[in-house]
Structure 1
């Protein structure tokens, strides 16, 4: 016959083992949950970016063609809308921020008005968006695109300023 203290000890050991197993499962679920959240965030950013690109393309098609031809060179103004269309044209002498899509123009103006370099998380609330990871990452992508096209500089990783040779150091929103 088993004594009561021995039975309690056996049950305590079994309960302790079950707790450890559940803790291991919980840790694994936490890792899986974080991966799923990252996947969701990437999908949200992708969906928002696609929606924005489609909206910009629609707006560009609806805009008067004369205004676009004045802002761009003749070879760029005659390019068809659709695949291969560059919504953010490369900066060149004489090109003003008004040729950019609204969101990009707002970003350039905010960066131009800032006393120093800005990070994406600082730009997001200034353009009227909620400071969520998806919005910050989407804005970071726009900032990087503006750097690639010569409108902005990235002095240090994640620190964006108006390009030194960019849209006239005379403030983008004053034109």
Structure 2
């Protein structure tokens, strides 16, 4: 039979070992936390810098007079590039990324306003909630950039610009 002092010493040794293990685990977590904070800080700085650059590019784009004809040069796709340019006189749907161009053409060909859930199958996607919400985000972006209108919530039509009727499918 084990004596009470021996049992207490054994429990104390086990508790001491558990404390040492938890201290080592806490130190490891502190290192991981510091790395995660550093990564977050870099991402925040990157996002702020990208937003500044995009704002500068948007301002420069408005001021540029000798830019190439947008009807001839599609917008480049890549990191740091505005994939969906704001609509302006003479710009055609051909400058949009494929899925956005398809959406604009589908909305242009529709007899009336369309909802995201009606557009999803027409662009070849399965009508799941995720695909509908993703398409709704694209529709909202097209509204923000002046390609589409949303006269009533969730119902999208082609934006009508002065003297622009019939130019959606032009290249």
TM-score range, shorter chain: 0.5 to 0.7
Distance 1:88 1:166 in 2: 21
Give the ranges of 4+ consecutive aligned residues of structure 1 lying more than 6 Å apart after TM superposition: none
Name the SS for the 1:70 alignment partner. Answer: coil
- 1:89-108 matched pairs, under 5 angstroms: 89-108=85-104
Find out whether 1:82 has 2:79 as its counterpart.
yes
Would the aligned equivalents of 1:91 and 1:167 in 2 still touch at CA under 8 Å?
no
Count of residues paired in the alignment: 104
CA contact (8 A) 1:97 1:167 kept: no
Structure 1: stretches of 5+ with no match in the other structure: 1-67
In structure 2, the partner of 1:70 is: 69
Aligned to 1:118: 114
2:167 aligned with 1:168: no
Taking structure 2 as the reference length, the TM-score comes to 0.54
1:135 corresponds to:
131
1:169 positional shift: 2.3
- Taking a change above 3 Å as real, the CA distance of residues 166 and 128 of structure 1, as seen in their structure-2 partners, is farther
Per-residue deviation, residues 22-76 of structure 1 (Å, max 9, x unmatched): xxxxxxxxxxxxxxxxxxxxxxxxxxxxxxxxxxxxxxxxxxxxxx94317xxxx
TM-score by length of 1: 0.53
Q: How far apart are 1:109 and its partner, in Å?
A: 0.1
CA distance in 1, matches of 2:87, 2:163: 7
- Cα distance in 2, alignment partners of residues 90 and 150 from structure 1: 6
Shift of 1:172: 1.5
Contact in 2 for aligned 1:107/1:123 (Cα 8 Å): yes
Structure 2 alignment gaps of length 5 or more:
1-66
The 1:70–1:155 alpha-carbon spacing in structure 2 relative to 1, beyond 3 Å, is same
